[in-house]
Structure 1
Amino acid sequence: MIKAAAMLAATLVLAGPAARAQTYPSRQITLIIPFTPGGSNDLVGRAIGKKLSEAWGQPVVVENRGGGGTLIGSAAVAKATPDGYTLLLVSPTFTINPATRRTMPFDTARDFTPIAFMGRAPLLVTTSNKLPVQSAGELFALAKSKPGQITYASAGLGSINQISTEVIALAAGVKLAHVPYKGGAPALNDLAGGHVDIYVSSIPQALQLVRGGQIKPLAVTSSRRTALLPDVPTLAECGTPGADAETWWGIVGPAGMPADVVHALNAEINKILISPELVTFLTNEGAEAEPMAPQQFGDMIRREIARWTKVAHEANVSID
């Protein structure tokens, strides 16, 4: 009797992961986006959530929990039950925060489970029409002649706009003056109005102003040109290598998630990424899908944290 009970218990333990994988998800999944609605992070998160819901027949509810430089929404996921029903959309801010903040409500590398990387997109170096430059080379020459006098906008302290501009400045050997805004829209408005000199933006955010001739596109921050603006060179083509900085998106969950649930999510998201609908969607965002295994994504997160920590130290970027 005891032996039979022990064998039954062992069978249930061995069957646990397989059974769980077959039944996951059995209820609503919550995808937290730590940004306000409307931006690229929100759009990408909702697109993935919609396709997951369609594939699995379970609702994927998107919750926008902006504020605190993404820390509010991220902390909520770090504290959630690690069962695969609370997920977090992450982007470069996820890896910039630990590099630029002395105090954090969680450990970015330890308190989350990497699940799936989705894709990346270049950023666009733009300038005011009032700035007397027509190329990135001319911009950096002007900045060298006026150290600390050329201004650049960002969507806030510790944003991808700030950290990527500092990467570019370090690579070009120039010193720029930072002007933080409360979001990308007011930063672009002031760039178009000539109140600030430079803004490193996501391409979709700046595209209308570029095509309308209200701001000047000088270079993209990726290693190759983008199809959205094929005539705009890369920074490396302009003589400034080593300034690559891209925006990206991924999905993580709380630390300690079951491996089979992580695998199920990763496999389904990777399948979604190569669907015609998502390929078109990402192309319109100036992005390309880049499926990864969870371990690869985790390695990338650690590399990004190390890179931004070095940049923050060299450029003296600190939020608190």
Structure 2
Amino acid sequence: MLSAVSRALLGALMLSVAAVAAQAQDFPNRPITIVLPYPPGASTEQVARMIQPVMQERLKQPVVIENKPGGNGSIGTLAVARSAPDGHTILLTTNALMTIVPHVQTMPFDPLKDFVPLTTAIRGILGIAVNPNVPAKNVAEFVAYAKANPKKVHFGTAGIGSPQHMAGLLLNREAGIDLVHVPYKGGGPAVNDAMGGHIQAVIATVSSVIGQHKSGLLRIIGIGEKERFAGQPDIQAIAETVPGFEATSWLAFYAPAGTPKAAVDVLNRELVFALNTPEVKQKLFDLGLPVVADKPEELDRRTRSDLKLWGDIAREMNVRAE
């Protein structure tokens, strides 16, 4: 026989479970906010605004997009980590912030402990582009050129600790070359200096240099995917010359740690649906941002794997923010 105290505790527990279940069934019951830890105009905003109307229609709730830039992305990210873990505030961020920057500088959040994964949104295909005056039409010729000119070939990126920076370091290691990194405050200035011949090469998302490639202002010689990208099949994968090379960027959605599984399941389902909407998927593909839209456990594996990969490289190459 249960004592009066035991019956009271059991009753309280059942009420609590019932309350959680009711909340899960009622999710979402107010607007969902997608926090972007970057300024307006970034690729995170492009993705968020494309899926916004689809999610609003299906969830019957407003979807608010909120830019919270600053602190190298830490301000917006920390705001989500500290928000109520009920699924109504989620984060759309880059792999740099979740898997690279924590190795390069101290951040006020833990990418594994403070968040639960929802889905990887897209891959941002990285490419290496050279000034037309560089005597290299492909990766093999570029590697040979770099080996013949050690510490004289400079590549620009969006900054220290960016996926582009780490891709260059990985290329140095895997190809046995010694490219010199030139960090910029954003990808745009790096692309401009490569076009102007101030640096020989730039590593950037293909979407940001494909126009210059087509006009002849730059020459994309390779991409960091395992295989060629169907959207630009004429551009070889670096792995065709440097076996095993792979360096990509990605955007992903996360929720605060402690978010109920029922809410995570709903968010994953709706984000995946919105991303795979034919019009959205085609627009992103045309931008060189192929949709991934995977399961939470797949994003979890991706996050952990990249944390280890870039952590090893950052320690080996002694990469620290200035």
In which range does the TM-score fall when normalised by the shorter chain?
Answer: over 0.9
SS at match of 2:239: coil
Instruction: Name 2:217's counterpart in structure 1.
Output: 214
Matches within 5 A, 1:45-124: 45-93=48-96, 94-101=98-105, 103-124=106-127
| Structure 2 spans left out of the alignment, 5+ residues | none
Q: Are 1:201 and 2:204 an aligned pair?
A: yes
TM-score of the pair, normalised by structure 2: 0.92
Q: Are 1:184 and 2:179 an aligned pair?
A: no
The alpha-carbon distance between structure 1 residues 9 and 233, as it changes in their structure 2 partners (threshold 3 A), is same
| Structure 1 spans left out of the alignment, 5+ residues | none
Which residue of the other structure, out of 145, 150, 156, is the alignment partner of 2:148? 145
Instruction: Name 2:21's counterpart in structure 1.
Output: 18
Q: Distance in 2 between matches of 1:10 and 1:277?
A: 46
**1:290 shift after superposition:** 2.3
SS at match of 1:291: coil
Q: Which stretch of structure 1 is more off in the superposition, 68-77 or 287-296?
A: 287-296
Instruction: Name 1:306's counterpart in structure 2.
Output: 308
Structure 1, residues 175-233: CA drift from partner, whole Å, max 9, x if none?
Answer: 11111111111111111111111111111111111111100110111011112321111
Aligned-pair RMSD on alpha carbons? 1.9
Which residue of the other structure, out of 252, 255, 270, is the alignment partner of 1:253? 255
**1:41 shift after superposition:** 2.0
Contact 1:210–1:217 (CA under 8 A) maintained in structure 2: yes
**1:317 shift after superposition:** 1.4
**1:98 shift after superposition:** 1.3
Q: Are 1:44 and 2:52 an aligned pair?
A: no
**1:289 shift after superposition:** 2.4
SS at match of 1:207: helix
Alignment-mate amino acid for residue 194 of structure 2: L
Q: Distance in 2 between matches of 1:199 and 1:188?
A: 6
Q: Distance in 2 between matches of 1:35 and 1:70?
A: 6
SS at match of 1:139: helix
Which residue of the other structure, out of 293, 296, 306, is the alignment partner of 1:294? 296
Contact 1:31–1:49 (CA under 8 A) maintained in structure 2: no
Contact 2:207–2:289 (CA under 8 A) maintained in structure 1: no
TM-score of the pair, normalised by structure 1: 0.93
Q: Distance in 1 between matches of 2:15 and 2:279?
A: 40
Q: Which stretch of structure 1 is more off in the superposition, 73-82 or 216-225?
A: 73-82
Give the aligned length.
317
**1:89 shift after superposition:** 0.6
Percent identity, please: 35
Structure 1, residues 36-91: CA drift from partner, whole Å, max 9, x if none?
Answer: 12122221122233322222121111111223221121111112221212111121
Q: Distance in 1 between matches of 2:273 and 2:197?
A: 45
Contact 1:219–1:232 (CA under 8 A) maintained in structure 2: yes
